[in-house]
């Protein structure tokens, strides 16, 4: 009786985390074969617009897994087409391997929602679940997993193995974003990176310079997490309104507004990688301030990828901290980010009122509020915010 496991996913694209996980699965579960199964249409999530077709995803996956003993890539779900229900897949595999032991590999969050899967009770009859958990899982999370596993065992006679697998914390979404910013290669097996480059997948090699606003907005929003999109649009609209009021270019304001958080969805380690890529010095930022770097990386990408002008890029660059002696557009983006209609916090109404009557007073109040909050939380203060505060307190004459 052979031990076979199924490792399913979108693999859009396959990345080093997947390859690492595949090797670990083989070793930890002492498998005879690991079948990597790209889904045609994943039942639980939508494939983002602009994703490569099935054939390209399959080719990238085969290239990534090539040469790993015991691993094979199956196009069963791609051939079947339509929604890729695991139940259907397991039925077919059970016909192929009637005497073998079949494991279905899933992650922790999948176990917790497993009872929402199509015909999950039948799945539990066809396969044993292999639940990969991280070794640094909190005690509470570990307890939740054990409780859920126990409930499935008691209620449905499920066979479940929970095992530690410290997979690389990396998502295909992050990889797609980093590909767009021109530094995806280090997340990818070399043969996969080559296919992406040669076939210009994931927008590689596209021309994004001087896009008309609607196209710019669409492209930028595709790089955001869903819950940040309304904020970017709100900031853009508010900045445009303020630009009209204060006599600055509405076009610049609208573009800077939509672009200001372009790289916000990236984690600190990706921010640092982008800083390296764009030659941005990070010395003025302590590690707990790396989140602020998204202003710098967004500005660099706005210039290099979208070809935005200096005024726009500078406003994006300083929106997180402010600085001494800001231009009108820099102030507008700083405050639009703070007061756009999706913002809800104590004092926002006063800030909104001031933004339309006394821009400097509004920016100063915004900076004061940020600094107060950081002080209250015992967090470090960035030097540029302190300089902006000092400048606005003493040198408000320049407007
Ligand atoms: Fe921001
Ligand atoms: Fe923002």
Domain boundaries along the sequence of the chain: 3-170, 208-397
Cα-to-centroid distance, 289 and ligand 2 (Å): 15
Which residues have their alpha-adjacent CB atom under 5 A from ion ligand 1? 261
Q: What is the mean pLDDT of the chain?
A: 94
The ligand whose atoms approach the alpha carbon of 336 most closely is: 2
The ligand whose atoms approach the alpha carbon of 342 most closely is: 2
Cα-to-centroid distance, 253 and ligand 2 (Å): 14
The ligand whose atoms approach the alpha carbon of 335 most closely is: 2
Superfamily of domain 3-170: HUPs (3.40.50.620)
Percent of the chain with pLDDT over 90: 85
Comparing 125-139, 171-185, 264-278, 332-346, which segment has the lowest mean pLDDT?
Answer: 125-139
User: Which is more confident, 294 or 166?
Assistant: 294
Q: What average pLDDT does this structure show over 345-352?
A: 95
The ligand whose atoms approach the alpha carbon of 229 most closely is: 2
Token code pair at residue 331: 């102030």
Q: What average pLDDT does this structure show over 191-195?
A: 97
Cα-to-centroid distance, 316 and ligand 1 (Å): 8
The pTM for the full model equals: 0.90
Which pLDDT tens digit goes with each residue over 13-56? 999 999 999 999 999 899 999 999 999 988 877 888 889 999 99
CATH number of the domain located at residue range(s) 208-397 in this protein: 1.10.3210.10
The ligand whose atoms approach the alpha carbon of 295 most closely is: 1
Comparing 23-27, 208-212, 297-301, which segment has the lowest mean pLDDT?
Answer: 23-27
Does residue 135 carry a pLDDT above 90? no
Q: What average pLDDT does this structure show over 345-351?
A: 95
Cα-to-centroid distance, 301 and ligand 2 (Å): 16
Phi first, then psi: give them for residue 199, nearest 5 degrees: -100, 5
Cα-to-centroid distance, 232 and ligand 2 (Å): 6
Cα-to-centroid distance, 259 and ligand 1 (Å): 10
The ligand whose atoms approach the alpha carbon of 236 most closely is: 2
Cα-to-centroid distance, 296 and ligand 2 (Å): 13
């Amino acid at each position: 009786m052979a031990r076979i496991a199924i490792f399913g996913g979108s693999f859009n694209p396959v990345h080093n985390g997947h390859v690492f996980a595949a090797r670990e699965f083989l070793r930890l579960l002492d498998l005879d074969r690991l079948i990597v199964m790209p889904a045609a249409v994943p039942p639980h999530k939508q494939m983002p617009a602009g994703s490569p077709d099935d054939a390209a995803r399959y080719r990238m996956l085969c290239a990534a897994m090539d040469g790993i003993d015991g691993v094979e890539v199956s196009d069963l779900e791609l051939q079947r087409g339509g929604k890729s229900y695991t139940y259907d897949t397991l039925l077919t595999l059970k016909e192929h391997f009637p005497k073998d032991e079949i494991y279905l590999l899933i992650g922790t969050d999948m176990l917790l929602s497993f009872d929402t899967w199509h015909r999950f009770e039948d799945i539990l009859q066809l396969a044993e679940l292999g639940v990969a958990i991280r070794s640094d899982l909190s005690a509470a999370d570990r307890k939740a997993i054990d409780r859920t596993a126990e409930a499935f065992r008691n209620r449905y006679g499920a066979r479940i193995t929970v095992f530690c697998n410290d997979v690389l914390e990396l998502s295909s979404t992050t990889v797609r974003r980093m590909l767009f910013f021109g530094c995806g290669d280090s997340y990818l097996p070399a043969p996969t990176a080559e296919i992406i480059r040669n076939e210009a997948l994931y927008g590689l090699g596209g021309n994004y310079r001087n896009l008309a606003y609607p196209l710019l907005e669409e492209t930028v929003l595709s790089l955001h997490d869903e819950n940040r999109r309304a904020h970017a649009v709100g900031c853009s609209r508010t900045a445009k309104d303020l630009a009209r009021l204060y006599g600055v270019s509405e076009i610049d304001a609208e573009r800077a507004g939509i672009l200001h958080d372009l790289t916000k969805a990236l984690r600190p380690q990706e921010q640092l990688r982008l800083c390296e890529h764009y030659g941005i010095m990070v010395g003025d930022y302590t590690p707990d301030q790396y989140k602020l770097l998204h202003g710098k990386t967004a500005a660099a990408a706005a210039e290099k990828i979208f070809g935005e002008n200096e005024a726009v890029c500078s406003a994006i660059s300083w929106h997180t901290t402010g600085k001494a002696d800001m231009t009108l557009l820099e102030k507008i983006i700083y405050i639009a980010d703070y007061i756009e209609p999706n913002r809800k916090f104590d004092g926002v109404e006063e800030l909104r009122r001031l933004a339309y009557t006394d821009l400097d007073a509004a920016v100063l109040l915004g900076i004061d509020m940020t600094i107060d909050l950081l002080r209250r939380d015992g967090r470090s203060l960035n030097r540029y915010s302190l300089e902006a505060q000092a400048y606005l307190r003493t040198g408000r004459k320049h407007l």
